[in-house]
Amino acid sequence: MNLPIDLIKSQTLPALFLDVDALNRNLTAIAKRSQGKTIRLATKSIRSLPLLKYIMKSSQIYQGVMSYSVEEANWLYAEGIDDILVAYPSTDRHELHKLTRHMKIGANITVMVDDDEHLSFLQAIAHGEQSHFRICIDVDMSTNLNGFHFGVRRSPLRNTEKVVQFAKGIQNYPNLELVGIMGYEAQLAGVTDYSDHLIKDFAIKRLKKASVKHVHTKRQQVAKALRKDGIELSFINGGGTGSLMTTAQDDSVTELTVGSGLYQPTLFDHYSSFQYDPALYFALPVVRKPTSHIYTCLGGGYVASGAPGKDRLPSPVYPEDAQLLALEGAGEVQTPIHCASTTLAIGDPVIFRPAKAGEICERFTSITLIQNNQIVSHVPTYRGEGICFL
């Protein structure tokens, strides 16, 4: 943790901090690992408009964004960001109608589908607006290993035949244009390589090794089959921070998606193929001293989404000997920590790293940017812009 403590003390706490030097190092490292493929930014992991624009200006490798809601996509477009892929299907009629109006003036926004009901729903909206939708098909990249489902439960399009049949069906909808497919290997990008469970870690590594080959083969087969049937695509999207290097090796993929690795939250410390620099932190003030070695901080209950576990809790990194209490964890309005050898005073900061990237931004209205040991700016989060999408 390289944040200057005196600067942290000078700020009103709780507060969210970004080490810009660490972010810049991560930008460079991730761009190198993309093997020349362009990178689409996962906005859910960034959740700050100024930082999205900063990242995209840093290198030509970073082109376009992957949005997580249609409402967000409409807002980003109005704020000057084009080339948007909405990664999840939507039934938000109001925002979809608004999106069709953007499409009339040439917006480069693509929506996700994986079901015939999605198609008929979108066709009705586009027809009513005398507009169109750009369509991306979400292809399931889960692996079935001897009856064991290794992956997430998302798209029902699990094999090449289903994808091709579905793609052909889109041709029956005059206001829908198929432009891409997404094959996100969540079991590789979002599952860590090691933890505190040796047997589990061994099994995960075996599963991931087998899954890499399966994922590449499936994506390549889908792309080949679509081309054979005369279906040309503008892009094939794949990957995430955790699978960046293996996805970049798949020749069928034209663009990669990255988000969390830029902030490097604690969940992404547990991969063997990469190690980026922690960049995002939050600081809480000490407001109580219930015993000689326990200090109670204000706030802190910023627990990450996913299956509940200790790995979803934020981790104290300053003082170095600070630890959460097993029976209390990170509290809704107060968080006690134990420090065996450090003495803290009321008002002193305790600094944490979040378990996941973008979610912590929903708890703060701004991010304080620190570079070269100086505060250089305060930028708004999505919440600071007065918006909340999910």
* Per-residue model confidence as pLDDT tens digits over 120-179: 999 999 999 999 999 999 998 777 666 656 667 788 888 899 999 999 999 999 999 999
Cα–Cα distance between 69 and 267 in angstroms, integer? 24
pTM exceeds 0.85 for this model: yes
Name the band, by pLDDT with cuts 50, 70 and 90, for residue 208: low
Greater confidence (30 vs 246) lies with 30
Lowest mean pLDDT among 30-44, 174-188, 272-286, 311-325: 174-188
pLDDT at 10: 93
Mean pLDDT (the chain, rounded): 91
pLDDT for the residue 189: 54
User: Homologous superfamily of 20-264 in CATH?
Assistant: Alanine racemase (3.20.20.10)
CATH H-level, domain 280-382: superfamily = D-serine dehydratase-like domain (2.40.37.20)
Q: Does the pLDDT at position 353 exceed 70?
A: yes
Q: What is the CA radius of gyration of the chain?
A: 22
Q: Residue 269's pLDDT band (boundaries 50, 70, 90)?
A: confident
> 29: how many CB neighbours lie within 10 A of its CB?
16
* pLDDT reading at 273 higher than 80: no
The string over 291-317, giving b where at least 16 C-beta atoms fall within 10 Å of a residue's C-beta and e elsewhere, is eeeebbbbbbebbbeeeeeebbbbbbb
Residues 113, 166: Cα–Cα separation, whole Å: 10
Question: Roughly what angle, to the nearest 10 degrees, separates helices 93-104 and 70-78?
Answer: 40
Annotated domain spans of the chain: 20-264, 280-382
Q: Which residue has the higher pLDDT, 62 or 244?
A: 62
Percentage of the chain beyond pLDDT 90 is 75
At residue 225, what is the residue type? A
Same CATH fold assignment for domains 20-264 and 280-382: no
Residue of 282, 385, 373, 359 whose CA lies nearest to 20: 373
Q: What is the pLDDT of residue 199?
A: 44
- Of 47-61, 151-165, 283-297, 365-379, give the lowest mean pLDDT range: 151-165
Residue 217: what pLDDT? 83
282 in the Ramachandran plot: left (φ > 0), alpha (ψ -120 to 50) or beta?
A: beta
Q: Which of 31-40, 200-209, 298-307, 373-382 has the lowest mean pLDDT?
A: 200-209
Q: Per-residue pLDDT averaged across 313-340, rounded?
A: 96
Residue 142 pLDDT: 76
Lowest mean pLDDT among 25-29, 51-55, 244-248, 330-334: 244-248
Tokens of residue 89, six digits: 């299907």
Average pLDDT over residues 283-306: 96
Q: What pLDDT does 151 receive?
A: 61
| Alpha helices, DSSP H, located in 177-295 | 186-189, 198-228, 244-248, 260-263
Cis peptide before 265 (omega within 30 of 0): no
> Mean of the pLDDT values across residues 46-74?
97
